[in-house]
Structure formats: C-alpha cells, structure tokens
Structure 1
Amino acid sequence: MPFDFIFNFLTNHSLSFSNPSTHLSYFGSRIICYHLPHNSHRNLSYRSILFLLTIDTLICQNCLLNQQLYASALLHSKSMILLFSLPIIVLAYVLCRNIKLYYDLHRRGLNPQFDIFGIKGLMWLDSSAAHENFTRMCSVIGDKTFSVLRGATPVVVTNDVDLIHAISTEHFDCFHSRIPEVLSDDPITSENIHMFSAKGERWKRLRTLTSYGLSTVKLKLLFPTIETCVSEFLDHVNSLSNGHSVVINHSHSLFQNHTSYVLARCAYGHKEKNHRVNNFLGVFSNAFGAFSDFQKSTAEKITYFFPEMRLIFKNSFVGHFLQSANQQKFLDYLLHLISRFRSRTINENNNKPSEKEPDNYSLLEFFFDHHNEKKLVEKAEGQIDMKKVKVEKSISYQEITAQCKFLSVAGFDTTANTLTLLFNFLAHNPKIQDRIFNEEIKSHSDKIDFETVCSLPLLQNCIFETLRLFPHASPLQTRICTEPLQIGKYEFSENIQVVINPWGPHHDRDIWGDDVDCFRPSRFEKLTEQQRKAFMPFGVGPRQCVGMRFALLELKTTAFRMLQKYVVKTTLPVNDSHGKMVNMTVRDTGTIWPTDKLGIILTKRNT
C-alpha cells in the first residue's frame, strides 16, 4: 500500500515540481534527509527515491508494532507479577491479623488454641459433633474455658458453670445479645427480626410480649387444644397397629408428625385434622434438618475469613439467591397460614361478634391482638439495664411473620427430639415406666386437667433426665459482649463472641457422679446446689427459652396419654445406660437430632 501510493503520486505530479528535492521536502523522509550526503539526492532517480521512501514507511510501521508488542508484554508481566503477589499479600495480611488476634486473646487470659488460619475453629463450631468437640477439648487442655478463631472472628467457648451463670445472669446487661448468623438481617435496622435474633430493648419488647402470650393463664387456654391434638395423635397411632401392638421403626418421624401438628394448631389456629397428610410437616421437613457439617454457602465461608466482605454478601439480591428454594417455600407456606388466619378471623368477627371460645386461642391471634405498626426508637448497643426498660406491648406485621417462623423452628424439632429420646429411655427401663404408670397415671380416668399434668413429678424427672443426657438445644446458647468487661481472670472485649456449652456441665462426673451416662431420673428428687446450677437445657437467665413451659406441658400431656394406653418396649436389647449408645448430630436448625431410628413397640394395656 505505501509503495503504490507514493509511486502513483510522484508519477502523476512529476512535472509540477522544479526538482527532486521538492519531492523529498514534500514527503519528509527521515532516511533520505539523514543518510544522503548534501545535494546527493539530485543524482537519484525517482524510482530510487520511491524505494527509500517505502523502506522508511515499513520501518516506521515495524517500530510502531514493536512498541505495541513491548507495551503489551510489559502489561502482561505486570499482571503476572500482581497475580502471583496477590496471594502472598493476602496471606501476609491474614497472618499478621490472626497473630494479633491470638496475642490479644492470650493477653486477656482467654486460653486461645493455636490455629493460625482459623480453619480448625470454624470446622469445630460448624461441625455436626460440635457439642462433643467442645467437651473433649476441655478435657485435653485441662480448662473449662478456651478460645478459638472462627475464620477471623475470636470466639470464647465455656463449659464453666459459674462463668455461664455470670454471663447469662449477673452480667446480662453486657451480654443481652446472641451471635447472629453471618449473613442474617441486621437485628437493629431490619423489620423482619424475631425474638431470638433481636437485640437490646427490641428483644425486651418481643420477649415480654411472647412471655405474656405463653403465661400460665394463656397456657390454660391452650391446654384443651393440646389435649385434642394428643387424642387425635393416639388415634393415628392406633390406626397403624395390627390390633394389639404397633411397631414404630422410626419413632423420631412419628413424633415429628405429632409436634408439628400441635404447633400448627396452637400457633396458627390450624383446623385441618389429618396426621397421614401433614402439610406442615412436609413443608418443614423439606426446608430444614440437613446435617450441619460445615454446610455453609461459599459466601458465608468467605465472610468468616474476611468480615469486610459481609456488606457485599448481605445485599438483598445475594441474600435471596443464597436462601434455598425449600426454605422459601416454607416461608411462603407460613405467609399463607397467616393470611388465611386473618381472613378467617375477620369473617368470624363479622358473623359472631360475641366473645371467642377459649379453645380457639392461638399465639397468632394473640400477636394480632397487639399488632401495631408504630415506629419505635429502641436502644440495641452497649450496656443496657433491662430492669429499667419500659416495654410497649406492640408488634409489627413483619415481626409477627418472623416470630412465627422462629417459633415453628424452635417448637417443632426440640419437642420431637425429647419425646423420641424419652420413650427410648423408658423402653430400656421398664421398671421406671411401671412406676410412673402405677403411681401417677393408673389412678386417673380419661379426663385430666391442666393442674394434674403440672403435678407429675416422676414423669417430669424422667423428662429432665432425658434433657440432662441430651441438651439438644445447646448449640443455640450464644452471647456477644456489648461492653468491655472483666469476669474473674477473664477479660472480655467489646463484640467478642461467647458459645455456652451445656453438654459439658451435663456430663461432668464431678457434678453428677460416676453414673453420669446412665438414665437415673431419681437424681432429680434431691439436687445439690451445683447440680441445680449445672442443669440448663432451656438456657439460663433472662434469655432462657420462652417456650419452656409450653414444651413441658406438651411433653407431659403426650407422655401421660401414651403411657396410659400403651406399654413401651424397645426393638433393641434392653440397656439401662443406653444414652451413651445414641448417636446425635447438629442440624441446620441449630439443634441436635438423634441419627438412629430408635424403634419402639407400643403394646396396648389390658383395661
């Protein structure tokens, strides 16, 4: 192209210039001007000049190409250097940060366990055997309190009964908040927050309101509904029998069916009566119950190691994407139940303006009676004297939805787990079972009342011993320190996380004796002060489980009616210390489930 252009130009315009030097001046050739002697260009032919100009053009193009290649190579080498340097920079940052965190934990007397990258701590805390890991670690290090790094987050783990009570009761004003899920909604600004995740004065308001909804007066209103549910459950069990007995190969599934049914009736005013097709159980089982063995999303794992990324991953779109489809279906189902309840209530109020029947009471009805969208200014950070907080009994629609979701998770699997383990122990201890029947059940007719169920000490001791051996809600007992505080030899900094492990005190031989692994309900007939403090299946202090009395009422009513009608036997050889043979794992609900099927045989009593 350059040669053709120059040749045609010179050929067409050769007569218009006085001499060849004009051509050189016109084209401005660097080669000719630099390398030809003065006036030597007069002896050159046009074609020679054209050749030189072409060479000049090609050299210029080649130089430009070389410059581009050099710039590209330089950019590539810089990118490669940056690519190889970035991991080293990140590694150096993590090492320096974590070493500083370890030094700080050591300086505060919190006994840090060395794990420079925080991987082991993260796996311990999110393991399906976390409760056993903590207890075992205390035995290895010889201390009941230690600390680990959960990625980049310092976490204190304690089995110390006195320290647990100090944190949960004496210094509750500085430990009023729980550890939130890493990508959960902001407990301060978000409207969609339930009582378990709430902080400060907001927690106090939701807790006070829910406590009133589950007070003794309200439980008496719920008792007829619980009785009806138990009666229908026994009808369902009877339908599975061959006439005289029924073999339940997977008792946990059976009791999950029952507790979900009770929850749907008592919490949502659910009217459907069908244990064979339990929609509530189906939706819940699909959404929850996965093993907890580090089953975190990639975003959650990254956030544990780099907390700075939390704001990115907490984006509403990302959060919605991370939520499983089954959990979204569960939430949609709850919203459907709430919407249907409101529609039914409005119709009933329009048709029957008189007072509602006592046995129609439900928690959802109670919440809507206190529904108020008024915006409240509530303190959530720092030290808060909860005794001086003035509570306004109101709850927003989004808080009602969140409360229902929390109560569904909390009230479903915990009670089912306890019933499963209780009947497993009773099946392995027929003498204890006979004593309960003869002393507390046999004398009662089919009709029992609220007061009777509340006064069954032998049965209650069996439930307590089950919960001592398997405090299945122990992974949920966590706290965050909101103000720097010194407790004994331990110094807690602001925002440090604390995991309370009841599994340790519940299995401490120094507290319970050498038969700590045996099912012996009689130990609860006379507890020592240390044993009383060490028993904490429902938590300790103001954040103790709000549904404890409701759970005990449901447990005792169900057990009373089942033992009244059936003798419970095991499908396995009888073993009075069977507790240590039951395998338990932490699930995504934050509670510990039995992994064994724990089969039982229900044989009808001779009446």
Structure 2
Amino acid sequence: MIALVFTVVAIFIALYYAYYFAAANNAQYWKRRGIEGPESKNKFLHFTEDLLNPNYNSCYLLRDWTKKYGKIYGIMEGWRKVLVIADYKLAHEVLVKKFEIFHARKLGALSPDNEKEKGIHVFNASGSRWKRLRTIINPCFSVNSLKLMFNTVDDSCKVMLSLMDKEYEADNAFNIHKYFHELTMDVISRIAMGQKGTKQFNNPNVEVAKAIFQRKGIVWLDDLAHMFPFAGHYFFKSLILMAKLTYFPVKQMLDDITAAVEERKKQRAKGINATKNNELVDFIDLFIDAEAENIKDDAYSKSNVKIEKKMTTEEIVQQCFLFLLAGFDTTANTLAISTWLLAKHPDVQQQLIDEIDDICTTDEITYEQVNELRLCDAVMKEALRLYPIATFVVGRECVEPTKLGNVELEKGVYVMCDVLSMHYDKNVWGENAEEFYPERFFDFSVEQQMSYYPFGGGPRVCVGMRLAYMEQKMALARILKKYKFVQCPETEKELKLTGCFVLNPDSVTIKLEKR
C-alpha cells in the first residue's frame, strides 16, 4: 500500500515538473523569435486572467502594452501564443487580404469544437461551416428584411419612450442604460424569437444575459482550459454537464430557445406557417425553412463554390442564442455611451436635434428617413471609435503557416488587433483623435476605414451591423424629438467601463428636458 502511494506521488511529481518545464519553455516562444512583449509572473496562466478581467477591459490593457512595446509584440494567454498588432496595414492584411489563412476567430478556450459539436453558431464557426451558416443568415439582415423589422423596432422604441416619460414627470436623475437594455432585449426577442408584443421591464432574459456576460460560474474551468488546451473539448463537455446539474445562465437561455424552436415546429406540423401566409416572420421561421439533418461541410475554400443552405436543429438553436446575446448588450451599451457623449456636448446634441426635425417632420418616422440621418450615423460611429464596444471580435487564428509583416507565424498562433490604439492613432485621425468630433466621419479616408473596427472587419464583419445602426438611430430619433439629454450633479464625470468581453458602462445618469 505504501509503495503504491509513493508510486502515485512520484508520478504526480514527475508530471508536474514535466508540465512546469514545458510551460516555461513555451513561455519563451516570442523571445526566441526576437519579438518583445510583457512578461507575466504567472507561469501557467500568464495573461489569461488579465485579459478576462471584468473590471479592466482587455482593450485598455492592450493599449497600455502598445505604448510600451510598439505596434507589434507577443504575449502568452495560458498555453496560447498571441501576436498583438496595432498597425492598420497589418490588421487589414489579417482581416481582408489573407482571410483564407485567418478565417477562424480567436475564441475562448471553452468554446465548442467546430468539427465535433452538432450545435455551433456563426460567430464560433470556422471554415466551410462558417461560410454555410453565414450564407443562410445574411438574408435576415438584408435591406428588405430591415424594412420588415422597422415597425417592430419603432414600436419598441415608442414603448421605451412612454416609460421614460415617467422619469421626466418625476424630475428624476436616472440611469438610462437600463432602459436601453430593456429596449434591445425587447427588439431582438420580437424579431428573432417571435415574441408577441413588448415585455420591457418584464423580460427575465435581461438578467440571464447579463449573467452570461459576467462569466458567472465558469472562471475556474476556463482557467484549466487555458492551461491544458489539448483537453479543451473535454472541459467544454464538463461545462455542459455542470450546466445540467446546477443553475447556469447559458443553459437556462438555451433551454428556453430550444422550447421555442420545438413549439414552432409543432405549429408547422399543424399547418401554421408564417412564411407561407405572407406574415411577418422571425429568425426561427427563416432558419426552420433551412433545416436538414446530417450536414457535411467540405474543406474551406474562398472560391465561390455552391453552398448547401441548410442547418441542423442544434444549429438553429445556437443562431438564436447568438442573436439574443449579440443584439442585447452591444447595442444597449452603444446607445448609453452615445447618450452620455451628447449630454456632455450639448452643441452636437442641438445639431442632431435640428437634423432630426428637418428630416423627420411628422410623428411617423420611416425607414428612409432614418437612413437620411447623417449626423446621427456619425454620432454612433464616433461613440464606437472612442469606446469600441467589442474589440474581442477582432481576433483571428492562423490556420496555416504564413508571414505577417516581418514575423513568421506558425499554424495555431493567434493574432489580436489592438483596436483602441488604432482608433486613437493621431497619424490617422488627426490631433483631435481623443476628442468627440462626429463630423470626422463625413470625410472618411481610406486609412481611417482600415483603422476602424467596432464591428470587426473583412468577410467576418458583424452580420447584424446594419440592424444595430438602425435600432440605435431609431431610438435616438424618438427620444430627441421629444426631449434633450441634460447633465445633472449625478452624471458621471467619466464613464466607469467594465466587462471582460464587451465594454460596458456601469451606469449613465442623466435627466430629460422637455423640448
């Protein structure tokens, strides 16, 4: 018995030191290649916990490092080798010119395996599977689809405005961010899931979605997946098992979506089909129309080969899950930040009000009128330049050896773009790069276009970008036709921005002033 114990202990010690020396050797990866970068005191996780710190978004950490190490440097994220770039020409090369080599996103260590999992959404998918899903999804955000969604978006905006009326009547200083969260969840629930009518301030998915973005309950498992990437698939399976045994926000939302999809399929079986009755359809209906079993994706090709426009039931659930999350947080955060900036810059706000009054002359606002709101569009874009909401989407995995600038990259190396540094580069944006100046987007140079990535870039740019802009502009138009955003003693001097994935203002406190 004693011998067995000693044997087990000896094996454990041997494995520990084997892993320790392998990790130490791996940590020198960039130094051996002559590439500078910060050194971490954590020999196993390296900068994993720093990059996923909910109290200091990674975009600020990358900017700090870029100031010290220049526009190209290497870091370690657990076992992962990550090259960070802040040069817009290199970013364009990764996202556009060499897309076939960088078509896979830099995903979290706990992400599902693209080849093994039945259910995967377009954000996590890569290769031909991504191409198939993206081809099916694109029509959901076409101009015709946006026009069909417009009245639903407008109705939710009107409901939000009626709720804000109570804050004005009580002369309250209030956190407008929570209203935008309710609005965006309401809109995406109606157009993606077929929710009947509005459920603002009565939708449990708002709190569930917030919990998901906070990584509640998965930090320790995520750390293990970063330390042992070769076992990532098994850690993901452990996450699924843990979700089944305990309360888990992701599971709760997936269960609700699965139930909605199954209920819709039952309605189809009874002959109730909105797509055949020329009724307004939601994403579930559109995806069910593309449903099929046993789909096999071939190797990825950038050529325009024929794509099988089908998806599995598991994939349908995952697409709906993605759009509920993506349509909720980023849009609400952008609206909140834009509101804060307009309250801080009443001159710009007045110009925007004048534009809205000139174009939206009656209470009925049309899709075409919203598209004409040029300054409103510039305000949103400038807010996203100063506060890029989702910089994590601009990360890629190198799927075959290549050269980027003067750096030879091996297969499996990751590339992260320091979007914040590119958005503040005075050589690109001018000496007023740190100022709120929406008019800069009236004359958008090629260099600026190549340096601007609030929604990602290249073929994998956010598929819902046009819907986000439409919803944001509609919300501002509705509010500013009636009120002005006004600073008050409680208004934040500077925004407190948190979130490990999405840049999230803790609160935006303003008052409304009747026009």
Provide TM-score, normalisation by structure 2. 0.91
1:134 is the counterpart of 2:62: yes
Aligned residue identity for 1:190: E
Of structures 1 and 2, the one scoring higher in RCO (CA 8 A, sep 6+) is 2
Counterpart code for 2:369: T
Identify the residue that residue 307 of structure 1 maps to in structure 2: 229
Equivalent residue for 2:335, pick from 411, 419, 430? 419
**Structure 2 partner of 1:474:** 391
Letter in 1 for 2:86: N
In the alignment, residue 137 of structure 1 is paired with which amino acid? W
Q: 1:43 — aligned with what?
A: none
Q: Partners of 1:233 and 1:563 in 2: how far apart?
A: 13
Identity %: 27
The equivalent of 2:293 in structure 1 is 373
Amino acid paired to 1:149: M
Matches within 5 A, 1:106-185: 106-108=31-33, 110-115=35-40, 117-128=43-54, 129=56, 130-141=58-69, 143-185=70-112
For 2:206, the aligned partner's letter is L
**8 Å contact 2:146–2:467 — kept in the other structure?**
yes
- Residue 319 (structure 1) shift: 3.1
CA distance in 2, matches of 1:489, 1:481: 15
One-letter amino acid matched to 2:465: M
Alignment match of 1:266 (pick from 185, 191, 194): 191
Please say if residues 173 and 490 of structure 2, whose CA atoms lie closer than 8 Å, have aligned partners that are also in contact: no
- Aligned residue for 2:328, secondary structure, equals helix
Residue 261 of structure 2: aligned partner: 338
- 3-state SS of paired residue (2:450): helix
Matched residue SS, 1:211: helix
Pair 1:160–1:79, CA change in 2 (3 A): same
- Other-structure match for 1:385: 301
**Residue aligning to 2:475:** 558
Residue 325, structure 1, aligned to residue 245, structure 2: no
What is the rounded CA distance, in whole Å, between the counterparts of 1:81 and 1:340 in structure 2? 56
3-state SS in 1 of match to 2:314: helix
Partner residue of 2:320 out of 404, 411, 419: 404
1:248 to 1:397, Cα distance in 2 relative to 1, 3 A: farther
Contact kept in structure 2, 1:297 and 1:322, CA below 8 Å: no
1:115 to 1:191, Cα distance in 2 relative to 1, 3 A: same
- Distance in 2 between residues matched to 1:259 and 1:480, nearest whole Å: 31
Which residue of 438, 445, 448 maps to 2:365? 448
Matching of residue 602 in structure 1 with residue 512 in structure 2: yes
Q: Deviations over 1:512-566 (max 9, x none)?
A: 2333332111221223332221111011100000000010111111111111111
CA contact (8 A) 1:484 1:492 kept: yes
For 2:129, the aligned partner's letter is R
Equivalent pair of 2:243/2:251 in contact (CA under 8 Å): no
- Give the drift of 1:185: 2.2
CA–CA separation in structure 1 for the residues paired with 2:282 and 2:396 = 31
CA contact under 8 A between 2:490 and 2:510: conserved in structure 1?
no
1:165-196 Cα distance to aligned partner (Å, 9 max, x none): 10110000011111233233211121110001
Which of 1 and 2 has greater Rg?
1
Shift of 1:451: 1.3
Q: Please tell me the residue identity of whatever aligns with 1:437.
A: I
Alignment correspondent of 1:256: 181
Q: Are 1:204 and 1:386, in contact at CA under 8 Å, matched by a contact in 2?
A: no
Distance in 1 between the 2:498 and 2:260 partners? Answer: 31
| SS in structure 2 of the partner of residue 498 of structure 1 | strand
- Find 1:290's aligned residue among 191, 203, 214: 214
Counterparts of 1:222 and 1:353, CA distance in 2: 15
Matched, 1:231 2:158: yes
Per-residue CA distance 1:239-276 (angstroms, 9 max, x = gap): 4442xx65352221111011100111111111033323
Please report how far the alpha carbon of residue 604 of structure 1 lies from its aligned counterpart in structure 2 after TM superposition.
2.4
Could you tell me which amino acid in structure 1 is paired with residue 227 of structure 2?
F
Mark the runs of 5 or more structure 2 residues left unpaired by the alignment.
Answer: none
Contact 1:135 1:503 in 2 (8 A): yes
Cα–Cα, structure 1 residues 320 and 425, in superposed 2: closer, same or farther, change >3 Å? same
Specify whether residues 248 and 188 from structure 1 end up closer, same or farther in structure 2 by C-alpha distance, changes over 3 A only: farther
Secondary structure of residue in 1 paired with 2:185: helix
Q: Which runs of 5+ in 1 are unaligned?
A: 1-71
| Offset, 1:386 | 1.8
Letter paired with 1:164:
A
| Equivalence for 2:438 | 521
- Please tell me whether the aligned partners of residues 261 and 281 of structure 1 are also in contact (alpha carbons under 8 angstroms): no
Judge conservation of contact 2:275–2:281 (CA < 8 Å) in 1: no
Q: Does the aligned pair in 1 maintain the 2:292–2:312 contact within 8 Å?
A: yes
TM-score (norm 1): 0.78
Give the conservation status (yes or no) of the 8 Å contact 2:38–2:65.
no
SS in 2 for 1:154: strand
1:407 partner letter: F
Instruction: Assess if the C-alpha contact under 8 Å between 1:201 and 1:386 holds in 2.
Output: no
Please report how far the alpha carbon of residue 283 of structure 1 lies from its aligned counterpart in structure 2 after TM superposition. Answer: 3.7
Distance (Å, rounded) in 2 between the aligned partners of 1:185 and 1:353: 32
- CA 1:517–1:206: 2 relative to 1, 3 Å: same
Letter in 2 for 1:396: T
Deviations 1:98-121 (A, max 9, x none): 32x355434545435434724332
The answer to whether the 8 A contact 1:161-1:533 is kept is yes
Q: Which secondary structure does the structure 1 equivalent of 2:91 belong to?
A: helix
Identify the range of structure 1 (172-181 vs 122-131) with the bigger mean alpha-carbon deviation: 122-131
Distance in 1 (CA, whole Å) between partners of 2:44 and 2:199 is: 49
Alpha carbons of structure 1 residues 185 and 563: separation in structure 2 relative to 1, 3 Å: same
1:298/1:102 Cα in 2 relative to 1: closer, same or farther (>3 Å)?
closer
Question: Which of 535, 539, 543 is 2:456 aligned to?
Answer: 539
- Aligned residue for 1:288, secondary structure, equals helix
Partner of 1:593: 504
Deviation at 1:448, TM superposition (A): 2.0
Task: Find the partner of 1:94 among 11, 15, 20.
Answer: 20
| Residue identity matched to 1:479 | R
Most deviating of 332-341 and 130-139 = 332-341
| Alignment RMSD | 2.7
| Alignment length (residue pairs) | 509
Partners of 2:453 and 2:466 in 1: how far apart? 14
* 1:279 to 1:348, Cα distance in 2 relative to 1, 3 A: farther
Deviation, 1:344, is: 5.0
User: Which one-letter code corresponds to 1:420 in the other structure?
Assistant: A
- Tell me the CA shift for residue 430 of structure 1: 1.1
Distance 1:225 1:346, change over 3 A: farther
Distance 1:248 1:339 in 2: 44
Measure the CA separation in 2 of the matches of 1:248 and 1:329.
34
Aligned to 2:46, what secondary structure does the other structure show?
helix
